Amino acid sequence: MYSVDFEKLRDDNLPFLLQKPVMQVFCAVLMSVIVRLHGEFTAFREAKDIRLAHNGQVNSLEAILNLTFDAALNRIYLVDAVIPEDNYIGCRTNLNQTYIASHTGLTPPDDFYIGNAPFRFSEYDFIVMVPHELLTQEVKIRKLVEEYKTAGKTFDIQEIL
């Protein structure tokens, strides 16, 4: 839709009597600014098309990271659920605590209730795992993840071991 053949456009709009090589070169020089602007617009449009095709979902974020930084090997991945597999238990006197309290004398020692989980399990909501050789581009990766991630989510970039 946006493709233009500028040479054909120049030749079609130049009168027959003026279609000499010198005049064609002169018109090409005048059109060079338009050709450059068209190239910049095309690159901008392609970048925005890629941006609109991806969002903050895990598979989409992995896809855009691999497409941008590791297209050949696709080694970048996200660890989405940074939640330990511990069981949080408490007695009635400390339901909001994340540990088992010692016997307080108010309840029998075998009477436990499941308490509320802590507000945040870890420091980050997800982790971007990156190969060692791509850690030199950490600033660019961080900028791209910041652009695509869901608002309010925190993340860290770590090396794949």
- Cα(137)–Cα(29) distance, integer angstroms: 39
Query: Can you tell me the mean pLDDT for 10-14?
Result: 91
- Cα(52)–Cα(55) distance, integer angstroms: 7
The answer, yes or no, to whether residue 25 has pLDDT greater than 50, is: yes
- Cα(27)–Cα(17) distance, integer angstroms: 14
Query: Can you tell me the mean pLDDT for 142-151?
Result: 90
- Cα(63)–Cα(71) distance, integer angstroms: 9
CATH topology of domain 55-82+122-161: GMP Synthetase; Chain A, domain 3 (3.30.300)
Considering the chain, tell me which residue range(s) the CATH 3.30.300 domain(s) occupy: 55-82+122-161
How many Å from the N-terminal Cα to the C-terminal Cα in the chain? 46
pLDDT-based confidence at 118, cuts 50/70/90?
Answer: very low
Q: Can you give the pLDDT at residue 120?
A: 47
Q: Can you give the pLDDT at residue 109?
A: 52
Percentage of the chain with pLDDT > 90? Answer: 44
Entry pTM = 0.56
- Region of poorest pLDDT, from 91-95, 100-104, 157-161: 100-104
- Other C-beta atoms within 10 Å of 23: how many? 14
Dihedral in degrees, nearest 10, Cα atoms 117, 122, 128, 129? -110
The answer, yes or no, to whether residue 33 has pLDDT greater than 60, is: yes
Query: Can you tell me the mean pLDDT for 77-98?
Result: 61
Q: Can you give the pLDDT at residue 83?
A: 57
Q: Can you give the pLDDT at residue 113?
A: 47
* pLDDT, tens digit, 9 for 90 and up, residues 94-116: 556 544 555 555 555 554 444 55
Q: Can you give the pLDDT at residue 143?
A: 94
- Cα(34)–Cα(12) distance, integer angstroms: 17
Give Cβ neighbours of residue 67 (< 8 Å, ≥ 6 apart): 50
Give Cβ neighbours of residue 134 (< 8 Å, ≥ 6 apart): 69, 70, 75, 76, 141
- Cα(138)–Cα(129) distance, integer angstroms: 11
